[in-house]
Chains A and B, each alone.
Chain A
Amino acid sequence: MVNLKTVHLTTPVSDEDLADLEPGNIVYLSGVIYTGREGVYQRVVGEGHPPPEGVMDLTNVNFHCSPAASVNDDGSYTIGAVTATASFRFAKWMKDWFQISGTKMIIGKGGMSKSDYEKLFVPQGAVYLSTVGYGTGALLGRGITKVRDVHWLDDLGIAQAMWVIEVENFGPLIVDGDIHGNSLFDANNREIAKGFAKLYEGLKKPALSRYGETDDRSDELI
């Protein structure tokens, strides 16, 4: 196993905690986190509802997740596994969401673009952590100790509702975006891209191109 710097943090995360995080650090969280994705964002940012009362005072960590969960007959909840969903789709809500919620840490899948970090995360002093794998659902599920509350379950359904969950040693998570706007994925992509020309060397292009291989819609594709 490779030795990467590992950090244990408690929520709500402090500015000092976040200042020390660097891309590639491994993080385990203890405390409270909440799930929120397009359903929650649309309801709050798009339709103007306030976030559920008290949640944003409790924690500043937002997980892009739908749990594999069910509601039991007695009204309690069972959470089996949790994993993140791809975050790049949510960038359009982040500016307003940061402002309304005061969120300082986003946990998700695959990060957002470096320019999103520079434009949206740096002014907020927020960081982005990616889940690992992506399918460490069982390990992350183990880190959940209790479902504290579920908001908007009837309106949004299990997958899109806001789950407020207590966690202990919740991880592994890997730092992608730090407070300076650096991105681990971006750095890796740039390194890997250096080899692409050689990879395609000698392979002739197909006879029929596709839109997307050209940006000009007036181009003929043959």
Chain B
Amino acid sequence: MISFDTTEKTAFKLMEKAGIEIPDDYLAGIKVMANKEEGDLSSFVLGAMLENWEAAKEDRRPMCADTGLPRYYIKVGNEAKFEGGFVALERALREATARATQEIPLRPNRVHPLWRNEHNNNVGLNAPEVEWSFEPDADWIDITTVHKGGLFGTDYRMLFPGDGIDGIKRFFLDTIIAFGKRGLACQPAIVGIGLGGSKDTCMVLGKQAACLRTVGDKNPDPKIAELEAELKELGNKTGMGAMGFVGSSMVVDCHIEAGFTHTGGMPMSVHTFCLSSRRATARLHPDGSVEYRTDPQWFTPYSRRETVSW
């Protein structure tokens, strides 16, 4: 049995880690880009960011004051048992969010879309989001938190099969350029692309591709992996670097997730996970032990299954 108390404490710790510690894979990717960057201004920006991440870790303060919209991705082992059931698990996550907002502190970003009122704790109507997935032959629960900035860098478009790879490339460039100017996307970013699915699935897959896969990770379909590499290269050829200054540091990595879609369509979404790529994961075991990591391991052979049964 996984206890309520352990879960609340772990979720709190994850909120802190996500807000303060830049994940190693992202850091390594930016160091490679900084070495290649020839634009003076873009290069200065990357240098300042590297310094900033050090300062955040040293001082234990958030790396960026826009601490994003805290949310959770939960993967439940098929054999896992949780004290109080799933409703209690969701309550533990909401309690941790409220406590972390006050104690770290995080910015209370969440407000009602119309009345703009807030609860000062990042909890409210439909917030924080909790997305669920399952894993066979496991008795643990994985909790991942992501605090993604919310305003710029995302777009959706219904393309059609005849638009082909050209259509994908154009929409990719359109989005990168639109939000890359002045650095609104806070690039270099992990660009996540959703292809196919129904419209909402297309958005969800793209968002998860950006936020839940690490720099260096490749799609298991070799042809999709090839397209990921091609789009990454294309994105770094726009002439735009960090903050939209002349340079080459735009896309630290590109991840594509696909889903079966309507026979007549090829919907596409683009998402950018920014210079403060806040994500952290923990695995909670029934014996009370907890392991922390930065790779969510969200996409698994099971989650990407194409078969009727497993």
A residues adjacent to B (C-beta < 8 A): 1-2, 4, 24, 26, 65-70, 78, 80-83, 85-86, 110-111, 130, 132-142, 157-159, 172, 174, 184-185, 188-189, 191-192, 194-196, 199-200, 202-208, 210
Q: How far is the CA of A111 from the CA of B183 in the complex (A)?
A: 10
Besides A130-B243, A136-B49, A138-B59, 4 more A-B contacts (Cβ < 8 Å) are A4-B41, A138-B53, A141-B61, A210-B157
Q: How large is the interface on B (under 10, 10 to 19, 20 to 34, 35 or more residues)?
A: 35 or more
- Does B196 sit within 8 A of A, measured CB to CB? no
- Is the pair B52, A68 in contact by a Cβ cutoff of 8 Å? no
Shortest 3 CB-CB distances between A and B: which pairs? A135-B64, A138-B56, A70-B105
Q: How far is the CA of A195 from the CA of B120 in the complex (A)?
A: 45
- Is the pair A133, B65 in contact by a Cβ cutoff of 8 Å? no
Q: How far is the CA of A202 from the CA of B167 in the complex (A)?
A: 11
B residues 251-310 touching A (CB-CB < 8 Å):
274-276
12 A-B Cβ contacts within 8 A? A2-B43, A26-B44, A68-B65, A82-B65, A133-B48, A135-B275, A136-B64, A137-B64, A159-B107, A174-B41, A205-B170, A206-B171
Report chain B residues within 8 Å CB of A208: 158, 160
Q: How far is the CA of A138 from the CA of B103 in the complex (A)?
A: 16
B residues adjacent to A (C-beta < 8 A): 40-41, 43-45, 47-49, 51-53, 55-56, 59, 61-67, 101-109, 111, 118, 120, 151-152, 157-160, 162-163, 166-167, 169-171, 173, 177, 181-184, 186, 234, 237-240, 242-246, 274-276
Report chain B residues within 8 Å CB of A82: 65
- Is the pair B244, A133 in contact by a Cβ cutoff of 8 Å? no
B16 to chain A, nearest CB (A): 11
When A158-B120, A207-B160, A208-B160 are in contact, do A134 and B243 touch as well, CB less than 8 Å? yes
Report chain A residues within 8 Å CB of B41: 2, 4, 24, 174, 184, 188
Report chain A residues within 8 Å CB of B184: 86, 110
Q: How far is the CA of A195 from the CA of B240 in the complex (A)?
A: 10
B44 to chain A, nearest CB (A): 5
- Is the pair B244, A185 in contact by a Cβ cutoff of 8 Å? yes
- Is the pair A172, B246 in contact by a Cβ cutoff of 8 Å? no
Residue on B nearest A171 in the bound complex, by CB: B48
**Cβ 8 A contact of A80, one of B65, B120, B158:** B65
- Is the pair B108, A157 in contact by a Cβ cutoff of 8 Å? yes
- Is the pair A65, B157 in contact by a Cβ cutoff of 8 Å? no
Residue on A nearest B67 in the bound complex, by CB: A68
Report chain B residues within 8 Å CB of A136: 48-49, 51-52, 64
When A2-B43, A130-B243, A208-B160 are in contact, do A138 and B62 touch as well, CB less than 8 Å? yes
Report chain B residues within 8 Å CB of A194: 239
When A66-B65, A134-B275, A199-B238 are in contact, do A188 and B245 touch as well, CB less than 8 Å? yes
